[in-house]
Amino acid sequence: MKKCTVLITVLFTSVAVYGQVGINTSSPKATLDIVGEPSNVSSLDGIIPPRLTGDELAAKMYTADQKGAIVYATAAAVAPSGQVVNVTGEGIYYFDGNVWIKNSSGGTFTETDGVIGNEILNATANGGLIRTGSGTSAAPYSLGLISGTASGQVMAWNGTSWVPTAPAASSNIYNTNGSLTSDRTLTNNGFGLTFRGMTQSSTFSSGGDFTQRGLASSKRASVTLQSDDNDSNGIISTIFLYQDPENFGQIKAANDSRGLIIGTSATTQAAPLVFHTSAGSNTLGTEKARITPIGNMGINTSSPTEKLQVTGNVRFNSLPLNGSTNAIYTTGAGTESATQDQTFTATRTVVADANGVLGYIPGVPVSNSTDATRFLGGTAYVRFDTTSGGTLANAKVIGGTPGTSYAVGGVSATSSKGGINSVIGNGYTISNPSPGIFDIRFDTPLTQIYGISTNIVDAYGTGSGTITNPDPSNPGNPLFTNDNTQVAFISNTVIRVKTGNSAGELANRSFTFMVTGR
């Protein structure tokens, strides 16, 4: 006890003389200077402030006289408010004259409303106020402050004096290139995004659609796909997608592209290629042609049964004439010639069945006339009397059967021409399907008909029409005719002649005809 009393007396004597207290030191350097004993492992260094819970601290009322007081809260206040509003956890707190403030060992910005400055914790350690990242000390964006000496501007201490300074320029997609560090997703949140260039704009709509729009004078909208050179010729491969105002839409392969494929591929179901066109006036396009999944091409039909099926008329122009030289590119072996130097030689005739399916038969039609213009004509004798002489030589008798005798005037003879289908002229055959109707059928169909003339023969001989008997032995006598004939075209192969009497009724009568054509 005596020793302790001496020490206390000495201690307070030191306070009175020097105004400073030293623990474990005889020369304190401040009001209270405590020196630890690091070499003595059994001596636990440190200062323990008063310890109490947040609720116990809340029960006390501190004033400005206790400003700077330090306590250790062993637990948070159950209902932080008043002076203990910040006592939300265990730790050392100091009194600032109004409330207890926690002595934090460090922290990051935690924004309450997204506005820089409304932080719950102050930034500590390196990072300070040079970053604007929320919740991390590694945020890469600089705080946008204005340097200078005017009010509200920023100055920096350079070790000697304060000088105006500017923070590093912010880095963003508007002024700096960069690389993504991981996958990113941009959600437009119901808003559109437009990139506007000098001549075009690219827009992602609020719904996610993409639109490329032409601007400025040309107003062309275009999308270009390019593939870098891979064969060392220095030329890229390109596909252009164009749309000009009031013009055709275009898809073009260009530069080092080797072709353009339009089709379907790797589909789960059979997928045709269908072509639609619109008639205008804002009408929707309808199907005009398609290529089926097995490769059949249909025009105006959606179910072609052959490699090419056309519903409607077909027109071919500039077909080569048989025997034309330098007319085609296909060689006799079926390969392609580099130039149009091949001769077209026809060897087959195209024919069609009842369904319109084309085929061929060997050979080509042969014309009986060597002249391009054909003149076909003759006389059909179908009216004879027996009151005067005559001869059947060279006569073409219509009706009856082969070998039947006919009397012309007083002369009876057997016709070598015989039946109706044996009446053959120069490239034609005359048939008699019914009384007063005669069909003239040409061996080679006419491609063009220039003119037709027919006449009914009422009399053969001299006089004014009173002679009714033809006289083959006197061919110089005139023919007297009565135009009661009608001509009808059945096809380019058949011409039908209808004969009648003076009353206009159908009747078998002699007539002449002449057809000019080719």
Both structure tokens of 13: 């004597």
The per-residue DSSP string of 455-494 comes to EEEEEESSSSS---S--TT-TTSPEEE----EEEE-SSSE
Return the pLDDT at 56.
94
The pLDDT of 180-184, averaged and rounded, is 92
Q: For residues 272 and 292, give the distance between their C-alpha atoms in angstroms, rounded to a whole number.
A: 5
3-state secondary structure (DSSP) of residue 380: strand
Q: 3-state SS string over 131-170? A: ECCCCCCCCCCECCCCECCCCCCEEEECCCCEEECCCCCC
Q: For residues 518 and 509, give the distance between their C-alpha atoms in angstroms, rounded to a whole number.
A: 28
Return the pLDDT at 394.
37
Return the pLDDT at 387.
35
Q: Does residue 478 carry a pLDDT above 80?
A: no
Greatest mean pLDDT range, 49-58, 375-384, 417-426: 49-58
The pLDDT of 456-464, averaged and rounded, is 47
Give the residue, 151 or 429, on which the prediction is more confident: 429
Return the pLDDT at 292.
97
Q: Does residue 254 carry a pLDDT above 90?
A: yes
Return the pLDDT at 501.
65
The pLDDT of 438-467, averaged and rounded, is 67
Q: For residues 304 and 292, give the distance between their C-alpha atoms in angstroms, rounded to a whole number.
A: 8
pLDDT bucket at 241, cuts 50 / 70 / 90: very high
Return the pLDDT at 516.
84
Return the pLDDT at 461.
39
* DSSP letter, residue 387: S
Give the residue, 502 or 300, on which the prediction is more confident: 300
Greatest mean pLDDT range, 90-104, 149-163, 365-379, 418-432: 90-104
Q: For residues 285 and 234, give the distance between their C-alpha atoms in angstroms, rounded to a whole number.
A: 42
Burial bucket for residue 430 (CB in 10 Å: 0-12, 13-18, 19+): buried
Sequence spans of domains, the chain: 2-34, 52-131, 203-226+236-255, 286-315, 316-364, 374-517
pLDDT bucket at 82, cuts 50 / 70 / 90: very high
Return the pLDDT at 288.
97
pLDDT in tens, 120-149: 554 444 444 444 445 455 555 455 555 566
State the maximum Cα–Cα separation within the chain, in Å, rounded to a whole number: 196
Q: Does residue 155 carry a pLDDT above 80?
A: no
Return the pLDDT at 504.
65
Return the pLDDT at 72.
95
Q: For residues 447 and 455, give the distance between their C-alpha atoms in angstroms, rounded to a whole number.
A: 24
Do the Cβ atoms of 471 and 388 come closer than 8 Å? Answer: yes
pLDDT in tens, 168-180: 667 788 888 989 9
Q: Considering the chain, what is the average pLDDT of its residues?
A: 77
Strand partners, 277: 286
Do the Cβ atoms of 405 and 385 come closer than 8 Å? Answer: no
Q: Does residue 263 carry a pLDDT above 90?
A: yes
pLDDT in tens, 330-370: 999 999 999 999 999 999 999 999 899 999 998 888 655 44
pLDDT in tens, 194-239: 999 999 999 999 999 999 999 988 899 999 999 999 999 999 999 9
Q: Does residue 467 carry a pLDDT above 70?
A: no
Percentage with pLDDT > 70 across the chain: 68
* DSSP letter, residue 452: E
The pLDDT of 38-43, averaged and rounded, is 89
User: How many C-beta neighbours within 10 Å does residue 175 have?
Assistant: 8
The pLDDT of 178-187, averaged and rounded, is 92
Pairing label, strands 21-23, 32-34:
parallel
Q: For residues 25 and 15, give the distance between their C-alpha atoms in angstroms, rounded to a whole number.
A: 14
Greatest mean pLDDT range, 313-322, 368-377, 418-427, 449-458: 313-322
